[in-house]
């Protein structure tokens, strides 16, 4: 089942713009390795679910997969061969707004080579170019 919110204030939302780079969710926080987006795009709930399934299927219940994005935004679409107007269409899908730098998935509890292969499979399911990142120790 694709991800979607349980409760929302308004059913339909405006499309908005996605400017700039990720200023949050832009580092590996929970696992040891992550999949970072290099592009700006909407990632649908179905794509996130497909990524999760691909990772958990590859890992065979070893390690842990963290999903760092959630589709909060509803996208509407008019049916085919419909005339324009008559108000905003019905919700078709839910998407997460992903900017360059967003860490979308994380994996912990497995070796680096395993995590790399698992996240490569996830990257195939994503609509954006991705790169593999590992946790960076802080200096301070």
The answer to whether the CB of 93 falls within 8 A of the CB of 45 is yes
The answer to whether the CB of 47 falls within 8 A of the CB of 98 is no
Q: DSSP state, 95? A: E
Give yes or no for residue 1 binding another protein (CB under 8 A).
yes
Between helices 45-59 and 112-125, what is the axis angle to 10°?
150
**DSSP 3-state of 44:** strand
What gap in Å lies between CA 78 and CA 85, rounded to an integer? Answer: 10
What gap in Å lies between CA 99 and CA 71, rounded to an integer? Answer: 13
**Size, binding site for another protein by CB under 8 A:** 40
Q: Which of 91, 97, 114, 120 touches another protein (CB under 8 A)?
A: 91
List, in order, residues 6 or more apart from 82 with CB less than 8 Å away.
none
The site string for another protein over 110-139 (x = CB under 8 A, - otherwise) reads: ---------------------x-x-xxxxx
Segment 40 to 59, residues that bind another protein, using CB under 8 A: 52-53, 56
Q: Which of 101, 105, 107, 125 touches another protein (CB under 8 A)?
A: 101
Segment contacting another protein (CB under 8 A): 80-88, 93-101, 120-128?
93-101
Segment contacting another protein (CB under 8 A): 78-86, 98-106, 112-120, 121-129?
98-106
Residues in the site for another protein, rule: CB under 8 A? 1-2, 4-11, 21-23, 26-27, 32, 36, 38, 52-53, 56, 61-65, 91, 99-101, 108-109, 131, 133, 135-140
């Amino acid at each position: 089942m694709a991800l979607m919110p349980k409760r929302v204030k308004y059913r339909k939302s405006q499309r908005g713009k996605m400017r700039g780079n990720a200023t949050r969710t832009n580092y590996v926080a929970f696992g040891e390795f992550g999949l970072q987006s290099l592009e700006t795009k909407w990632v649908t709930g179905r794509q996130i679910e497909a990524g999760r399934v691909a990772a958990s299927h590859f890992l065979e219940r070893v390690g842990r997969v963290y999903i760092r994005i959630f589709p909060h935004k509803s996208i509407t679409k008019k049916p085919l061969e419909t005339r324009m107007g008559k108000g905003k269409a019905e919700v078709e899908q839910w998407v997460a707004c992903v900017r360059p730098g967003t860490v979308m998935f994380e994996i912990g509890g497995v070796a680096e080579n395993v995590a790399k292969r698992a996240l490569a499979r996830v990257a195939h399911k994503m609509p954006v170019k991705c790169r593999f990142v590992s946790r960076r120790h802080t200096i301070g």
